[in-house]
Amino acid sequence: MVLAHLTWEEVDALDRETVVLIPTGSLEQHGPHLPMFTDSLLVTAVAEEIERRLPSKVLLVPTVWLGASAHHMAFAGSLTASMTGYGDVLKQIVTGLSKHRFRKFFVLNGHGGNDSLNDIALRELKETFASSVLAHKGYHEFAEATIAQVLEGPSKRIQHSCEAEVSLMMHLHPDKVRKEKLIDDGLIPEPAISSLVLTFDEVTDRGALGYATLATAEKGKAIFESAVSGAITELEAIHAGFVLRGQ
Amino acid sequence: MVLAHLTWEEVDALDRETVVLIPTGSLEQHGPHLPMFTDSLLVTAVAEEIERRLPSKVLLVPTVWLGASAHHMAFAGSLTASMTGYGDVLKQIVTGLSKHRFRKFFVLNGHGGNDSLNDIALRELKETFASSVLAHKGYHEFAEATIAQVLEGPSKRIQHSCEAEVSLMMHLHPDKVRKEKLIDDGLIPEPAISSLVLTFDEVTDRGALGYATLATAEKGKAIFESAVSGAITELEAIHAGFVLRGQ
Amino acid sequence: MVLAHLTWEEVDALDRETVVLIPTGSLEQHGPHLPMFTDSLLVTAVAEEIERRLPSKVLLVPTVWLGASAHHMAFAGSLTASMTGYGDVLKQIVTGLSKHRFRKFFVLNGHGGNDSLNDIALRELKETFASSVLAHKGYHEFAEATIAQVLEGPSKRIQHSCEAEVSLMMHLHPDKVRKEKLIDDGLIPEPAISSLVLTFDEVTDRGALGYATLATAEKGKAIFESAVSGAITELEAIHAGFVLRGQ
Amino acid sequence: MVLAHLTWEEVDALDRETVVLIPTGSLEQHGPHLPMFTDSLLVTAVAEEIERRLPSKVLLVPTVWLGASAHHMAFAGSLTASMTGYGDVLKQIVTGLSKHRFRKFFVLNGHGGNDSLNDIALRELKETFASSVLAHKGYHEFAEATIAQVLEGPSKRIQHSCEAEVSLMMHLHPDKVRKEKLIDDGLIPEPAISSLVLTFDEVTDRGALGYATLATAEKGKAIFESAVSGAITELEAIHAGFVLRGQ
Amino acid sequence: MVLAHLTWEEVDALDRETVVLIPTGSLEQHGPHLPMFTDSLLVTAVAEEIERRLPSKVLLVPTVWLGASAHHMAFAGSLTASMTGYGDVLKQIVTGLSKHRFRKFFVLNGHGGNDSLNDIALRELKETFASSVLAHKGYHEFAEATIAQVLEGPSKRIQHSCEAEVSLMMHLHPDKVRKEKLIDDGLIPEPAISSLVLTFDEVTDRGALGYATLATAEKGKAIFESAVSGAITELEAIHAGFVLRGQ
Amino acid sequence: MVLAHLTWEEVDALDRETVVLIPTGSLEQHGPHLPMFTDSLLVTAVAEEIERRLPSKVLLVPTVWLGASAHHMAFAGSLTASMTGYGDVLKQIVTGLSKHRFRKFFVLNGHGGNDSLNDIALRELKETFASSVLAHKGYHEFAEATIAQVLEGPSKRIQHSCEAEVSLMMHLHPDKVRKEKLIDDGLIPEPAISSLVLTFDEVTDRGALGYATLATAEKGKAIFESAVSGAITELEAIHAGFVLRGQ
pLDDT tens digits, one per residue of D143-198 = 999 999 999 999 999 999 999 999 999 999 999 999 999 999 999 898 899 999 99
Predicted local confidence at residue A205, as pLDDT: 87
Inter-residue contact F69 to F27 (CB < 8 Å): yes
Inter-residue contact D80 to D111 (CB < 8 Å): no
Which of A225-240 are b and which e, b meaning 16 or more Cβ less than 10 Å from the residue's Cβ?
ebbbebbbebbebbbe
Dihedral over alpha carbons C82, C88, C89, C90 (to 10 degrees): 110
Q: Which stretches of F153-214 are assigned E, i.e. beta strand? A: 184-185, 187-190, 210-211
- Segments making up each domain of chain A, as ranges: 3-240
pLDDT tens digits, one per residue of B190-242 = 889 999 999 999 999 899 999 999 999 999 999 999 999 999 999 999 999 99
Q: What is the mean pLDDT of residues A45-62?
A: 98
Ranges of H-type helices in chain D: 8-12, 38-53, 83-99, 115-128, 144-150, 163-172, 200-203, 217-240
Chain A residues with CB under 8 Å of B27 CB are 3-4, 62
SS in 3 state form for C202-222?
A: HHCCCCCEEEHHHCCHHHHHH
Inter-residue contact F161 to F33 (CB < 8 Å): yes
Inter-residue contact E32 to E213 (CB < 8 Å): no
Predicted local confidence at residue C104, as pLDDT: 98
Cis peptide bond prior to D154, omega within 30° of 0 = no
The set of residues, in sequence order, having a beta carbon less than 8 Å from that of A90 and lying 6+ positions away, is A22, A24, A64, A107, A117, A118, A121, A122, A125
Interface test with C, best of B115, B117, B195, B204 (most C CBs within 10 A): B195
Smallest Cα distance from F10 to chain D, Å: 28
Contact E120 A123 (CB under 8 A): no
Inter-residue contact C39 to C25 (CB < 8 Å): yes
Contact D196 F133 (CB under 8 A): yes
pLDDT tens digits, one per residue of F114-155 = 999 999 999 999 999 999 999 999 999 999 999 999 999 999
Nearest one of B37, B16, B13, B24 to B161, comparing CA atoms? B37
Predicted local confidence at residue E205, as pLDDT: 87
H/E stretch holding E119: helix E115-128
Nearest one of E15, D228, C193, F98 to B245, comparing CA atoms? C193
pLDDT tens digits, one per residue of E96-120 = 999 999 999 999 999 999 999 999 9
Predicted local confidence at residue D69, as pLDDT: 98
Tell me the pLDDT of chain C averaged across its residues.
97
C98 burial level (CB within 10 Å; 0-12, 13-18, 19+)? middle
Inter-residue contact A236 to A51 (CB < 8 Å): no
- Binned at pLDDT 50, 70 and 90, residue D246 comes out as confident
pLDDT tens digits, one per residue of B115-152 = 999 999 999 999 999 999 999 999 999 999 999 999 99
Query: Which residues of chain F, if any, have pLDDT below 70?
Result: none
Q: What's the number of CA atoms in the CB half-sphere (13 Å) around residue C237?
A: 19
C–D interface: beta-carbon pairs under 8 A:
153
Residues F169 and F164: their CA atoms lie apart, in Å, by: 9
Q: Considering CB atoms only, which of A6, A36, A77 is closest to B36?
A: A6
Tell me the pLDDT of chain D averaged across its residues.
97
Contact A75 B8 (CB under 8 A): yes
The set of residues, in sequence order, having a beta carbon less than 8 Å from that of A173 and lying 6+ positions away, is A41
Collapse the DSSP code of B93 into the 3-class scheme (helix H, G, I; strand E, B; otherwise coil) and give the result. helix
Chain B residues with CB under 8 Å of A76 CB are 8-9, 11-12, 100
Predicted local confidence at residue C90, as pLDDT: 98
Amino acid present at E93: I
Q: What's the number of CA atoms in the CB half-sphere (13 Å) around residue F142?
A: 28
Residues C22 and C69: their CA atoms lie apart, in Å, by: 18
Dihedral over alpha carbons C35, C38, C39, C45 (to 10 degrees): 160
Inter-residue contact C63 to C44 (CB < 8 Å): yes
Inter-residue contact D165 to D180 (CB < 8 Å): no
Task: Residue count of chain E, please give it.
Answer: 247
pLDDT tens digits, one per residue of C137-195 = 999 999 999 999 999 999 999 999 999 999 999 999 999 999 999 999 999 898 899 99
CATH class (in words) of the domain with range A3-240: alpha beta
pLDDT tens digits, one per residue of D58-116 = 999 999 999 999 999 999 999 999 999 999 999 999 999 999 999 999 999 999 999 99
Inter-residue contact C170 to C215 (CB < 8 Å): yes
Contact A191 E83 (CB under 8 A): no
Q: Is the pLDDT of residue C84 over 90?
A: yes
Contact B242 C119 (CB under 8 A): no
Inter-residue contact A29 to A114 (CB < 8 Å): no
Chain E residues with CB under 8 Å of A122 CB are 197
- Binned at pLDDT 50, 70 and 90, residue A74 comes out as very high
Query: Which residues of chain E, if any, have pLDDT below 70?
Result: 247
Ranges of H-type helices in E13-114: 38-53, 83-99
Packed helices C115-128 and B115-128: angle between N→C axes, nearest 10 degrees: 130
Predicted local confidence at residue C246, as pLDDT: 84
Name the β-bridge partners of C124: none
Contact E78 F96 (CB under 8 A): yes
Collapse the DSSP code of D192 into the 3-class scheme (helix H, G, I; strand E, B; otherwise coil) and give the result. coil
Inter-residue contact C212 to C33 (CB < 8 Å): yes
Chain B residues with CB under 8 Å of C188 CB are 244-245, 247
A–B interface: beta-carbon pairs under 8 A:
154
Nearest one of F182, F35, F24 to F90, comparing CA atoms? F24
Chain F residues with CB under 8 Å of D122 CB are 197
Our answer on whether B and D touch (3+ beta-carbon pairs < 8 Å) is no
- Binned at pLDDT 50, 70 and 90, residue A246 comes out as confident
Task: Residue count of chain F, please give it.
Answer: 247
Smallest Cα distance from F194 to chain D, Å: 8
Q: Is the ipTM of this complex over 0.85?
A: yes
Our answer on whether F and D touch (3+ beta-carbon pairs < 8 Å) is yes
